[in-house]
Amino acid sequence: MNKTVVIDVVGLSTSVMGEYMPFLREYTERKNLIRIEPVLPALTTSAQSTYLTGKWPSETGIVGNGWYDRIDCEIKFWKQSNKLVNGEKIWERAKKVDPAFTCSKMFWWYNMYSTADYAVTPRPNYLADGRKMPDCYSHPAGLRDILQKKLGAFPLFQFWGPGANIESSKWIAEASMITDELYDPTLSLIYLPHLDYCLQKFGPDFLMIGKELSQIDDLLRKLVTFYEQRSAEIIILSEYGIAPVKHPLHLNRLFREHGLLAIREERGLELLDPGASKAFVVADHQIAHVYINDPSCRDQVISILKQVKGVELILDKAQQAEYHIDHERSGDLVLMADEESWFTYYFWLDDEKAPDYARCVDIHKKPGYDPVEMFMSSKLRAGYKLLRKKAGFRYVMDVIPLDAGLVRGSHGKTGVPPEYQPVLISDRKNQGDKFIATQVYDLIWDILTKNKE
């Protein structure tokens, strides 16, 4: 099979491929660029699962970055097991054709316990005293030790949160090249998250993100040069583009005002109790799943939502089938925001009673996605907390603001303008200039199998 590398540049769209990205601009002029009509939802885990199986979320079961587990009565985000993804993966199909085929999966999601030959993914150590230490997980296990000996510990706090920067993408790129030199995999899947940070914080504001665009452009130059020297065919793609937004929608607060939400108070702070709620919302960028525990309030829920400015689509299970998102994990209703809006998970009405995790980077406890985690409420406060950490005292890194209005970019919806659609750049000529998301799988397969058509 043909040695192939797929570089996932998160948030890449033609809206940012200008003067600050000279290498990618020149590279694209020599290649073929097509836009991708994004899958619904246009989110990391859903898009990646579709690209690697050729199946829609209704088949893979990846209806978002998180969903409500109706058995455990828990909202679960950013799980890691690849067994959550239904359907044959592209590397599994390839091994049937060529037993010598191998696959390296570098930080693409659902990257634990898969059948990929080599895999590395974020996996912090949670110590008994409450500390969270940067680390990663690998298969084979010894690969983690090789990489961290050469590169240092995986920079977890530069991968997500207010400290997110180019260093995490650099580490992933270097780790990918080292892995390639060690094992020479047939297919390499590389995830570069850098643009996700600045674009969600500032939107496509070049005065604010010009430096970030140049940094990822330089990193792409290094990766492309390396893989060209190793005679690999290169695909550069993205899962979604990030468009400007200005309206956060607090649907759980609205449901609470209508008596639909169950709230527990512990130590003077409030917690959402999804299992006891009549209905609640799991927010995920510009997509939200509405789970209704009490069927008698269904009409009331729909009536409330129809009055919310900023909600573009309300899909029941039958309508979800038209968008390929109907699955047992999806909400009883799936919502899509309009182009200027996005959904928060906020459910408290008084910031003084917000749960302790609200002011922390805590992607697993929060009952929804929180892009405000990329902002810092006070550098002075953060410095004080770090001093306590270094001095060996207990501390809580509660430095995240509670102002959703800070967020300036989002994604998740379909039907976005062409300049904000995800892109795919390769050598292959294709009919037309747009793919649907499932066709990305077909193109990767054709390149792997040297199909020139």
pLDDT digits (tens, 9 = 90+) for 429-453: 765 678 999 999 999 999 999 875 4
Per-residue confidence band for 398, with pLDDT thresholds at 50, 70 and 90:
confident
pLDDT > 90: what percent of the chain?
Answer: 90
Identify the residue whose tokens are 């770090």.
386
Per-residue confidence band for 230, with pLDDT thresholds at 50, 70 and 90:
very high
Q: What would the mean pLDDT of 387-401 be, rounded to a whole number?
A: 65
Q: What would the mean pLDDT of 89-114 be, rounded to a whole number?
A: 97
So what's the pLDDT on residue 27?
97
Helix or strand (DSSP H, E) at 93: helix 90-97
- Return d(Cα 167, Cα 153) in angstroms, integer: 12
So what's the pLDDT on residue 389?
58
> From the DSSP assignment, how many helices (H) and strands (E) are in the chain?
13, 23
CB atoms within 10 A of CB 295: 10
So what's the pLDDT on residue 130?
73
Q: What residues contact residue 85 under an 8 Å CB cut-off, 6+ apart? A: 49, 52, 53, 60, 61, 62, 110
Lowest-pLDDT range, 146-150, 295-299, 387-391? 387-391
Q: What would the mean pLDDT of 43-58 be, rounded to a whole number?
A: 98
For the record, the structure tokens of 338 come out as 């309009």
For the record, the structure tokens of 34 come out as 């097509």
pLDDT digits (tens, 9 = 90+) for 170-198: 999 999 999 999 999 999 999 999 999 99
So what's the pLDDT on residue 392?
55
Contact 180, 188 (CB under 8 A): yes
So what's the pLDDT on residue 381?
56
So what's the pLDDT on residue 384?
46
For residue 388, pLDDT beyond 80: no
